[in-house]
Amino acid sequence: MSIENEIWKTITSARCVLLTSHERVDGDGIGSELALMHMARGAGVECVIINDEAIPVEYEFLPGAEKICKISDGRQDEFDLVVSLDSASLERLRKVKDRLPKGVKIINIDHHISNTQYGDINWVGHEASSTGEIIFNLAQANGIAITPEIATCLYTAIITDTGRFCYSNTSSHTHLAAAELVRCGASPSEISRQIYRAERSNVLRLRQLALATLELSADGQIACIDVAAEMHRQTGTKYQDTHDFVDMPKSIKGVEVALLFREIAEDGKTRVSMRSEGRIDMNTLAQKFGGGGHKRAAGCTIDGSIEHAHKCILPVVEKLLETQRQNEKEQ
């Protein structure tokens, strides 16, 4: 039995399914959760989505988004199956992990190369652009009709994790999947408007404050910006509003590595988002600090302030770039 058929058979045999995703959930996680919820409910399976916290406001337009719960809502369903989507490890589920029934069966569906294979059933498609693309493959393999609602959720998952088809994880299959989703009812213009052309004025002010921290090093090959908790207080914004801020330093000509340092005030930690043009493996870099992700996009969390995170990360990146430069000279 193929992994696609095994997973769908397991889901449709369950009585009540919990769908969840990683902490600080993004468009891929949310779109994948909602698409699978619509698919499962269409097959007569009861399921609920519970995440560590509320979803970012730009994804509230998605069909079924109002049904997503956060862990603090205190919902107490008796789940007999958990499907974890777009989470490289069980720990990234944060407080949701602590609410899982003991011994419950877990299906792990993800595309991160750093995935720890923590499920009873694991489908980790490293070649896929996104978890949304994997869920599309699940639907195709099992003859599941893709409704306009499912198409909208999956198209959102794919475009957000491919940077609107600009990142290197975009393949010919990604474009074919997107084309099929449009045929099934997804509206590229409306989805893009909701996510990318409806930014609030206070988020623009936050961008302005973050850009003021821009620093270039290693002869312009490294660019980093910071988002401190005080900036959120000044602008009335939240951590979730910075999901694409790393694209700002990455867009600078000549930058090989872009870094976004975000203060998580309540935890006394700093989240570091890492992007590369390909010469430096971001997954390997992130793993040095307990994180992970993909070769060109990864992240980690550092205990301590933004300043401390700078001192931890930047010398390592500079050394990696210098080593790569020396290797290229010798070739």
Query: Residues 163, 245: contact at Cβ < 8 Å?
Result: no
Confidence of residue 327 (pLDDT cuts 50, 70, 90): confident
206: how many CB neighbours lie within 10 A of its CB?
A: 23
**Within 13 Å and on the Cβ side, how many CA atoms surround 81?**
20
Average pLDDT over residues 1-15: 96
**Is the predicted pLDDT of residue 15 greater than 80, yes or no?**
yes
Confidence (pLDDT) at 155: 98
Task: Say if residues 37 and 53 touch (Cβ distance below 8 Å).
Answer: no
What is the token pair recorded at 307?
Answer: 């300043």
| Confidence class for position 1, pLDDT limits 50, 70, 90 | confident
The span from the CA of 222 to the CA of 232, in Å, is 25
CB–CB of 51/96 below 8 Å? yes
323: confidence class by pLDDT, cuts 50, 70, 90: confident
Query: Would you state the pLDDT for residue 233?
Result: 95
Mean pLDDT over 12-22 rounds to 96
In the predicted model, is pLDDT for residue 330 greater than 80? no
What is the identity of the amino acid at 287? Q
The pLDDT confidence band at residue 71, using thresholds 50, 70 and 90, is confident
The closest of 149, 120, 148, 150 to 138, measured between CA atoms, is 150
Q: Which two tokens stand for residue 209?
A: 């404050």
Question: Which phi and psi angles does 315 have, rounded to 5°?
Answer: -60, -35
pTM: 0.89
pLDDT of res. 180: 98
Q: What is the Cβ-side half-sphere exposure of residue 305, based on CA atoms within 13 angstroms?
A: 4
Percent of the chain at pLDDT > 90 equals 85
- CA 185, 151, 188, 18 dihedral sign is positive
Q: What is the pLDDT of residues 238-293, one digit of tens each?
A: 988 998 899 999 999 999 999 999 998 778 899 999 999 988 899 999 999 999 99
pLDDT at position 288: 94
The whole-number pLDDT of residue 198 equals 86
Report the mean per-residue pLDDT for the chain.
94
| Alpha-carbon span 37 to 115, nearest angstrom | 23
Residue 326 is predicted with a pLDDT of: 82
Can you tell me the mean pLDDT for 18-27?
95
- Tell me how many helices (H) and strands (E) the chain has: 12, 12
What stretches of the chain show up as alpha helix (H) in DSSP?
3-12, 27-42, 95-99, 131-141, 148-161, 172-183, 188-196, 201-211, 229-235, 247-250, 282-287, 306-330
Write the DSSP assignment of 207-250 as a string of letters: HHHHHTT-EEETTTTEEEEEE-HHHHHHHT--GGGGTTTTHHHH
Render pLDDT for 123-151 as a digit per residue (tens, 0 to 9).
999 999 999 999 999 999 999 999 999 99
Per-residue confidence at 68, pLDDT binned at 50, 70, 90?
very high
Q: Tens digit of pLDDT for each residue in 208-232?
A: 999 999 999 999 999 999 999 999 9
Report the share of the chain in percent with pLDDT over 70: 99
Please check the confidence at residue 74 and state whether its pLDDT lies above 90. no
Side chain identity at residue 104, one-letter code: V
Can you list the domains of the chain with their CATH numbers?
A: 3-196 (3.90.1640.10), 202-330 (3.10.310.30)
| Amino acid 267: pLDDT | 81
172 has pLDDT over 80: yes
